[in-house]
Structures are given as structure tokens and as C-alpha cells.
Amino acid sequence: MSLFEQNVISDVIARLKAAGDDRDFEAAQMQLINLPEIIAGAGPHWPTVKEKLRTGSVSFLKACLDEGDAVVPAGDGFLIIFGAGEPDVLKQRAEELRGLLLEFYLSQEGLRKLGISLQHKRISAHELRALLSPPAQPTRAPTAHTLVFAPIWSPGAAMIASYACMPVYEARDGQRCGYDKGFADNAECAHRDYCELDISALDMVEQAFERYSPEQAMPAIGLSVHSTTLQHRALRQIYFDRLGRFAPWGVKHVFLKIAEIEPGAPMINLADWVGMLRARVRNVLLEFHFSEQNPPSLTQIGAWGAGFQAPLAANREGADTTPVARHFKRWGEAIQRQRARFFVDNLRRPGLIGLAAEAGAHFVTSDPYWPFRKWPGAVVSANAPSIPHFSPARKPLTSATS
């Protein structure tokens, strides 16, 4: 969140406190449409365009509002809070503001393709204060995690194409790569501070690179950073300070995954994170929850690929895999259309590995069949276990920059 946005929200909170009542407010939620196209068109200039979009839109709307009204950035859009007025009149007023903002975008280079959807809602003072309050600093994560190198099987090459340094925790069915069991179970994170774990992964990968000389052919090595590390400014700064000191000769061999992105994460945030990381690491993957119906516009926000952890229920023996197969197929087709990479982690049954492969997954991890290890090894051939009628269809992927 920028200083401008913090000041805007602080001003609105102060005015709410001054009102001193708990009445309901009429509000209008403006959601930006075609934002991925704007992000893609801006390219490396996205941070500048985003600042113009946020500050310019808020300043323009404030000039159009009455004295008792307020506007704040919210997700991929803006929330307008009306101080007074009849609901029907305010709905009409919100439609007028939507039209005025669209005219403003037409006059701004780089923003002309933006559209706006509008939703009217009634919100209590208590809900509004909670919505506007800055997120609390995450609590320190428990130390039950272990960092490992997970062999990454490439179905297209029928080989271990690379390794990923990831945290794991103990579950009922064995080790699972991931940070928060609540995310795997129900798509919710406990908003813990995983920054220290993320930095430890950087240290561990750097040590692994030291085992290779610059003349040796090194396997691509993946890293993960938790989404909460990037959400909070202080943690993000700590992480990027360490990432900036990462061994420069090893950077071109690294790809990085933003882990456990909660459903509904704003596209603006994802584009910011990917852009900041790509300034140091060329390839960035996004990990969503399995319940997400479709991947976002990956290529438009600069992501190299996307995927998810396999659902816990589908890994149980005898579970119906038909819904999982459909989901794999939908994601695989969507990601291939974007010419991006598709990954699935924590597969524990041969049948699920086969379904992921048939859906076009580029990367698969499975502790039972390709066990997690303390250090990465050489890239080796490794056929998938018991997958009938499956043969490689793609070329080997032996470098993160392939």
C-alpha cells in the first residue's frame, strides 16, 4: 500500500470516528475491468501507470463528490462511501460518477481500455472501520516446518527436470510441501510471518549452488516466497534486501513461486509482486488454491506459470478422481493457451500423477515417488510410476530459462 493510499484511508477513518455513530452507510463498489490488458500494455512501466491509476482516480473522484462523501482504493477498484442521501438517489449518483470516471480514463494515455463495473451496497460503520483498518502484523509462524529440495518431474521429458526448495510439514498421509495446512484444507491462511522461513530458503539454495562450479551444468532450482511476506511492507522489504544479495551467477538458474495466494487476491497486487520479483529473478510462478476455477491472465501480468497443491481428499485411496480430472484439464488447457507453465504439487497417487500429465502439467512433485531430499542432485531420467498408455510429448526442460 502506497503512502498516498495510507493517507486517504487514515483520513476516512478519522472522519468515521468523528461521526461518532454506528449508522449504516450507502456505498458503491467500482471494480476495474480489462485491468490485465492495462498491466500488460504498461510492461516495465506498470509501477508508474499503477500510481497514476490509483492517485489520479481517487483525486478525480474526490473532486466530484460532496463534502460528506469519501473514496478509498479497494482491491482492483474503489469504494465510494456516501455521507447522506436516499438510496435510489445515491444509486443514480454512483452511475453518474462511473460515467465521469470512464471519461477521465479516455483522456489518460495507457488507461483508455479500462471499464468499470458497479455494485451498490449498504455497509455498517463497524464493517467499514474493519475494512479500512490496516492489516495486523502477522504472527510468527511455528517452527514445525522443514526445508527440503523436492524433485520436480517433467511429464513431457519423463525426467527430473529440476528441484525446488520448499517448506514441508507433517500431515496424516506423510510430508506435504506447503506453509499453512489451513490453506490446503479450506483456502484460508492464518496470516503468519513466514519471512524468516523464506529467507532460510534463499540461504539454502545459495549453499546448494556453491556445490557447483560456474563451468558445471546446474539444474534449475525453484524457490518459494509466501504471499504474506509480500503483502506486508516491512516483511517485503526484509525479503527483497536479502534477495538483492543473492549470488548473481546463480540467479539465471532460479525460478520463484509466490505460494498460497488466497482466493480473491487483487490483480493489481499480483502484478506488483511479479514485477518486483522479476527485477531479480526472471521466472515467477503463482500458486493458487485448488478451488480457484480458472487461472488469471498470467502472461499479461508477467507470470511464467501457475498451479496448485493437489486437494487432500483426492489423494485418499478410493476417492473419485472425476472432478479432479476435469479441473486439471480446465487449468491445463487455459495455461497452455497462455503459453505458460502448469504445475501440480503434492500428488500422492499414481492415478493423479497420470491425470496431471494427461492435462499437460509441466511440473509435478510427489514425495512418495520422487522423495524430498536435503540437497538437489543431477537431472536424471525418472519414469512416472504405473501410468499406462503415457509417453513423453514435450522436449526436456533442463533450465529455468527454457
User: 317-361, pLDDT tens digit by residue?
Assistant: 888 889 999 999 999 999 999 999 999 999 998 889 999 999 999
Pick the range with the lowest mean pLDDT from 12-21, 87-96, 259-268: 12-21
pLDDT for the residue 17: 57
Instruction: Please name the CATH architecture into which domain 3-132 falls.
Output: 2-Layer Sandwich (3.30)
Torsion of CA 188, 193, 197, 198, to 10 degrees: 80
Q: Judge whether 55 and 73 are in contact, CB under 8 Å.
A: no
Distance CA 38, CA 48 (A): 12
What contacts 322, CB < 8 A, 6 or more positions away?
Answer: none
Q: Hey, do 3-132 and 139-364 end up sharing a CATH topology, with the first three levels equal?
A: no
pLDDT for the residue 203: 94
Confidence band for 264, pLDDT divided at 50, 70 and 90: confident
* Residue 81 predicted with pLDDT over 80: yes
Pairwise pLDDT comparison (48 vs 194), residue with the higher score: 194
* Residue 263 predicted with pLDDT over 70: yes
pTM of the model: 0.85
Give every strand in the sheet of 24-33, ordered side by side: 70-74, 77-82, 24-33, 115-124
Cell numbers linked to 194: 513466514
Work out the number of other CB atoms within 10 angstroms of the CB of residue 92.
12
Confidence band for 387, pLDDT divided at 50, 70 and 90: low
Q: Judge whether 49 and 110 are in contact, CB under 8 Å.
A: yes
Instruction: Please name the CATH architecture into which domain 139-364 falls.
Output: Alpha-Beta Barrel (3.20)
Average pLDDT of the chain to the nearest whole number: 85
Work out the number of other CB atoms within 10 angstroms of the CB of residue 91.
16
- Distances in Å between the alpha carbon of 305 and those of 41, 187, 341, 353? 19, 20, 4, 19
The rounded radius of gyration (Å) of the Cα atoms in the chain is 23
* Residue 18 predicted with pLDDT over 90: no
**Residue where the block lists cell 532460510:** 200
Distance in angstroms between the alpha carbons of the first and the last residue of the chain:
34
Distance CA 7, CA 264 (A): 24
* Residue 61 predicted with pLDDT over 60: yes
Confidence band for 273, pLDDT divided at 50, 70 and 90: very high
What contacts 342, CB < 8 A, 6 or more positions away?
Answer: 305, 306, 307, 331, 332, 335, 336, 359, 360, 361, 362, 363
Q: Judge whether 341 and 335 are in contact, CB under 8 Å.
A: yes
pLDDT for the residue 398: 39
Q: Give me the residue spans of the domains in the chain.
A: 3-132, 139-364
Confidence band for 401, pLDDT divided at 50, 70 and 90: very low
